[in-house]
Amino acid sequence: MGYRTLLRDHRSVLSIAFLAMFSSSLGQSYFIGLFQAPLSDHLGLSVGQFGTAYAVVTLIAGFCMLRFGPSIDWINPQRFAAIVLSLLLTGVVLLTLSPWWWLGIVGLGIVRLCGQGMLTHLGNTLAAREFSTMRGRAIGLANLGIPLGEALLPPLVAAALIWSSWQTFWWLLCGVIALPWLWLLLKAPWPDAPGVKPTRQTPHGPRPFREKRFWLLMPLLMALPITMTGLFIYQAQLTESLESSLAVYALALTGMGIAKLPGALLGGRWVDKLGPVKLARLYLLPYAFAMVMALTIGGHISIWALMVGGGLAMGAQELIASGLLIKLWGAEHLGRVRSALSAAMVFSTGVAPAVLGLALSAGAPFHALLLGMLLFIIAGWLLAQRVLRETSTIPAEP
């Protein structure tokens, strides 16, 4: 079955998942970063204080994902979406209108939790859980919502801030997003929850953090977000080390966004045909090769290679990760296991910039950091081989 047939026969579920991924833009780092200066002024915080507050609320959001993310396994998805969207709107109200800085930071934390956290959790879980033979294609289509937001929103923000306040833009965007959500919540058919809430008399399902195979798999799945976060945060040091420029880096970011599209669409088709295990062994190769180029060649071409290679891998990562988690723990427990993985990624991407910053402050050259990133990718690949071999012996879903 091709993408056209998939869209025709399953438009409701795919529309919900796609809109959830696009709506997550409100809580994504790139979007909030566009408003860093006006947000700092509004909250009365310095740049350093805002960065500290952002890191703290992000870590708290990770803990909340562990607590509330698994509920999508037993709460009706329609109700789950309504709760998350209501909380997201509450967070926007607090962030944009609160006269007290501390309440604004609470709003920022809610926006981070419900945007980047819960809405991406909803979109990926629905797309992965409601499909079996077409799962890769479905997740690939749903994940197109994120690069669409990355492509559309930054220029819209730049244009809108010329004639309106940042608060006005947030509210206009919320209004635009609310219209299709209201239609989907009221008119579209929604899938049911796969299970019931665990009690003292019923099993709670898998506990990934207590399983060795989860810890062996995590470095492979976290290598890309951790290292890409470092490249985003320390772009000035990266371009200087590779003898490039921030202008080239900015253009390469556009290339990264474009590269996510074939990464998601082709990756979805390949996952359905080859399975997530084979793709898990291969999908980081373009990014690892780009790291080797950066270490040996440098220059503008290495910046482009890092961004495009990272974009291809990022486009394919979620559908590979969901396929592996489902094969290992089952679709009925996907919410619980994805919550654990999401929380681990939040923690690690929150800590990684601090570790890299300390290394740079201690005088480490950026080439040494790039070498460390490449070794981390290789180590993650090696550690995951035992789990991937185990996963390859699990029969496919009927």
pLDDT single digits (tens) 158-169: 888 888 899 999
My answer on whether 233 and 99 are in the same domain is no
My answer on whether 246 and 326 are in the same domain is yes
My answer on whether 200 and 234 are in the same domain is no
Last residue of a domain, one of 204, 231, 250: 204
Residue 386 falls within a domain, yes or no? yes
Angle at which helices 145-163 and 246-274 cross, to 10°? 150
pLDDT band for 155, please (50, 70, 90 cuts).
confident
Q: What per-residue confidence (pLDDT) applies to 85?
A: 96
My answer on whether 141 and 246 are in the same domain is no
What CATH number is attached to the domain comprising 245? Answer: 1.20.1250.20
Q: What per-residue confidence (pLDDT) applies to 29?
A: 78
pLDDT band for 202, please (50, 70, 90 cuts).
low
Last residue of a domain, one of 187, 204, 221: 204
CA distance 294 to 306: 8
My answer on whether 153 and 237 are in the same domain is no
Cα 309–Cα 393–Cα 264 angle in degrees, nearest 5: 25
Residue 118 has pLDDT above 60, yes or no: yes
| CB count in 10 Å sphere of residue 215 | 14
Tell me which of 46-55, 202-211, 239-248, 281-290 is least confident.
202-211
Q: What per-residue confidence (pLDDT) applies to 200?
A: 60
Domain residue limits at 371: 209-393
* 337-346 confidence digits (pLDDT tens): 888 888 887 7
Domain count for the chain = 2
My answer on whether 123 and 19 are in the same domain is yes
Pick the closest to residue 238 from 308, 295, 184 (CA basis): 295
Residue 2 falls within a domain, yes or no? no
Pick the closest to residue 124 from 141, 147, 148, 149 (CA basis): 141
Give yes or no for a contact between 76 and 189, defined as CB atoms under 8 angstroms apart: no
Residue 27 falls within a domain, yes or no? yes
DSSP labels, 42-100: HHT--HHHHHHHHHHHHHHHHHHHHHHGGGGGTS-HHHHHHHHHHHHHHHHHHHHH-SS
Residue 398 falls within a domain, yes or no? no
Q: How many helices (H) and strands (E) does the chain have?
A: 19, 0
Mean pLDDT is highest, among 54-68, 230-244, 291-305, for 291-305
Tokens of 124: 């990926």
Last residue of a domain, one of 152, 184, 204: 204
CA distance 16 to 72: 14
* 250-267 confidence digits (pLDDT tens): 888 888 888 888 888 888
* % of the chain surpassing 90 pLDDT: 36
Q: What per-residue confidence (pLDDT) applies to 375?
A: 96
Residue 176 falls within a domain, yes or no? yes
Q: Determine the residue type at 81.
A: A
Residue 118 falls within a domain, yes or no? yes
Pick the closest to residue 319 from 60, 122, 143 (CA basis): 143
Residue 368 has pLDDT above 80, yes or no: yes
Taking every pair of Cα atoms in the chain, the longest distance, rounded to a whole number of angstroms, is 62
* 207-254 confidence digits (pLDDT tens): 888 889 999 999 999 999 889 888 887 888 889 999 998 888 888 888
Mean pLDDT of all residues belonging to the chain: 87
Q: What per-residue confidence (pLDDT) applies to 379?
A: 96
Give yes or no for a contact between 191 and 322, defined as CB atoms under 8 angstroms apart: no
My answer on whether 273 and 143 are in the same domain is no
pLDDT band for 172, please (50, 70, 90 cuts).
very high
* 68-96 confidence digits (pLDDT tens): 888 888 889 999 999 999 999 999 999 99
Residue 1 falls within a domain, yes or no? no
Residue 203 has pLDDT above 70, yes or no: no
My answer on whether 16 and 105 are in the same domain is yes
My answer on whether 190 and 128 are in the same domain is yes
My answer on whether 232 and 148 are in the same domain is no
Residue 120 has pLDDT above 80, yes or no: yes
My answer on whether 150 and 290 are in the same domain is no
pLDDT band for 170, please (50, 70, 90 cuts).
very high
* % of the chain surpassing 70 pLDDT: 95
Residue 397 has pLDDT above 60, yes or no: no
My answer on whether 11 and 95 are in the same domain is yes
Q: What per-residue confidence (pLDDT) applies to 398?
A: 46
* 175-185 confidence digits (pLDDT tens): 999 999 999 99
The H-or-E segment that residue 151 falls in is: helix 145-163
| CB count in 10 Å sphere of residue 229 | 19
